[in-house]
Chain A
Amino acid sequence: MSKAAELAALIANVNKGSSLAAKNFIINGNMSVAQRATSATASGNGTYNTIDRWITWDGNDGALTSEQSTDAPKGFSNSLKLVCTTADTSLAAGTYASFAQIIEAQNLQSLDYGSSDAKPITLSFWVKSSKTGTYCVAVEKQDSTQYRFVKEYTISSANTWEYKTVTILPDSNIKAGAGAIANDNGEGIRVLWSLGHGSTYTGATDNTWHTGNQYATNNQVNWMDSTSNNFFLTGCQLEIGEKATEFEHEPYETTLYKCLRYCEIHTLHSYTHMGFAYTTAQFLIPYTWKVEKRAAPTFTFPTVGTSSGNLGVTVASGSYPSTHGSVLRATTSVTQAYVYNNADDGYAGFTDDHIAVLYGYANPVVKIESEL
């Protein structure tokens, strides 16, 4: 695109309600942040495994992995790489393989969905796959009535980075009351890439909003049909307007902090958080994190105990108590947790009103998640 055309597209989008900065509703669209893992990790059916904010669904008889790759088009350093590791050559009706980013509702209020002022949006992304053919991307609006918009795109050349754009115009339903997106911290929109869907979920009409549960047209390839298949994606941007504009690169720390609202991974080195014992068998330890969470998060512990790689609790002297249990509990709010135990969780040897300290023996990992 020439500079003049680029400027014209930008101005056109601003006139439609976009902004010059923070225009991308997708977080971590350049796949730069991967707190959980960077190397190939098996995908579950609705799990966040590697790159932050990107969820995969492996709901078929095959299997796939995700990873953070350094294979990327010019101007980018990373991509999301998916590999089919077990093939499913014929997807049964109710099966599927896909991945998505789920965008928080309150961040989408500028779309004005649910009113006559509802704005057009444009999705752009770089994609590469060993398997050519027709693929589908779906935009799924949550809240009130669920509406889905499905659009085909074509991967023309195998193993070649290609740039795709999709413009989604609001229809009369999106402009009506049931098209509204609640101004809250729940799901607003899912942007979902299909890798293959069984007949229950195909049959959508291309380039059209619908209320059915179809995420793809009948032309969608079955990417799960061979263990030779891979799929790369990066440079994802969803913005207001009918034109795709240059990807909005941002400092790494900006992207990281956006991701931290939904997930923090803490590698604990030695003595980390201090609390107190309030009986000889019970303790309470405050545990804070860097960024306020979207909602009260799930607190996931590493193995609890006194062996290498375990998370444990010490008494005031810095030693383990005489008896150490294998369970820790947490009660969480959006800003912090209390890590504690129950009287029957198998701990003994604390001193009432003395300190108790969380101790990470050989870098155990705590996960705090409030993903959508």
Chain B
Amino acid sequence: MKVENAEYSKGVLDTKDKVVSILATIDGELSSVPIAEGNRHYDEIMKQVKEGTLTIKDAD
């Protein structure tokens, strides 16, 4: 799984101050990945972060 341009994303309205997802280009497609273990994309992103091959930009 090729993950690029990963950044944390805050929510909207009542979650506007809370990080709720990771916005990333996964295999060439813009994807919004929930912060949730068990989501295969989230698990892979965290694996790549742990291996040091991916960094996630902070939410604006």
Contact call A300/B29, Cβ cutoff below 8 A: yes
Asked whether B49 is an interface residue with its Cβ less than 8 Å from the other chain, the reply is no
Contact call B32/A301, Cβ cutoff below 8 A: yes
B30 proximity list for chain A (CB < 8 A): 300-301, 303-304, 327-328
Contact call B1/A298, Cβ cutoff below 8 A: no
> Bound state CA distance, A338 and B27, in angstroms?
23
Asked whether A344 is an interface residue with its Cβ less than 8 Å from the other chain, the reply is yes
Contact call B31/A331, Cβ cutoff below 8 A: no
A284 proximity list for chain B (CB < 8 A): 12-13
Contact call B10/A342, Cβ cutoff below 8 A: yes
Contact call A297/B60, Cβ cutoff below 8 A: no
Smallest CB gap from B15: residue in A: A331
Smallest CB gap from B9: residue in A: A329
Interface size, B (range): 20 to 34
Interface residues on chain A, number (Cβ under 8 Å): 35
Asked whether B56 is an interface residue with its Cβ less than 8 Å from the other chain, the reply is no
Contact call A329/B23, Cβ cutoff below 8 A: yes
B25-53 at interface with A (beta carbon < 8 Å): 26-27, 29-34, 36, 38-42, 44
Contact call B29/A46, Cβ cutoff below 8 A: no
Contact call A331/B34, Cβ cutoff below 8 A: yes
Known: A329-B23, A338-B12, A342-B10. A301 touches B36 (CB 8 A): no
CB contact between B23 and one of A45, A327, A344 (< 8 Å): that residue: A327
Contact call A300/B40, Cβ cutoff below 8 A: no
Give the distance to chain A from B28, nearest Cβ to Cβ, in Å: 10
A264-322 at interface with B (beta carbon < 8 Å): 278, 282, 284, 295-304
Asked whether A239 is an interface residue with its Cβ less than 8 Å from the other chain, the reply is no
Known: A298-B34, A342-B10. A330 touches B21 (CB 8 A): yes
Give the distance to chain A from B38, nearest Cβ to Cβ, in Å: 5
Contact call B60/A344, Cβ cutoff below 8 A: yes
Contact call A301/B31, Cβ cutoff below 8 A: yes
Give the distance to chain A from B16, nearest Cβ to Cβ, in Å: 9
Give the distance to chain B from A298, nearest Cβ to Cβ, in Å: 5
> Bound state CA distance, A367 and B27, in angstroms?
13
Contact call A331/B40, Cβ cutoff below 8 A: no
Contact call B21/A295, Cβ cutoff below 8 A: no
Asked whether A340 is an interface residue with its Cβ less than 8 Å from the other chain, the reply is yes
Smallest CB gap from A49: residue in B: B27
> Bound state CA distance, A337 and B9, in angstroms?
14
A282 proximity list for chain B (CB < 8 A): 12
CB contact between B1 and one of A47, A330, A338 (< 8 Å): that residue: A47
Contact call B21/A329, Cβ cutoff below 8 A: yes
Give the distance to chain A from B22, nearest Cβ to Cβ, in Å: 9
Contact call A331/B38, Cβ cutoff below 8 A: no
Give the distance to chain A from B27, nearest Cβ to Cβ, in Å: 7
Asked whether A85 is an interface residue with its Cβ less than 8 Å from the other chain, the reply is no
A344 proximity list for chain B (CB < 8 A): 60
Asked whether B54 is an interface residue with its Cβ less than 8 Å from the other chain, the reply is no
Asked whether A144 is an interface residue with its Cβ less than 8 Å from the other chain, the reply is no
Beyond contacts A340-B12, A342-B9: 7 other A-B pairs, Cβ-Cβ < 8 A, are A44-B1, A297-B34, A301-B31, A304-B30, A331-B11, A331-B34, A332-B32
A-B contact pairs, 12 of them (CB 8 A): A47-B1, A186-B38, A295-B39, A299-B32, A329-B12, A330-B21, A331-B15, A332-B32, A337-B32, A338-B11, A342-B60, A369-B41
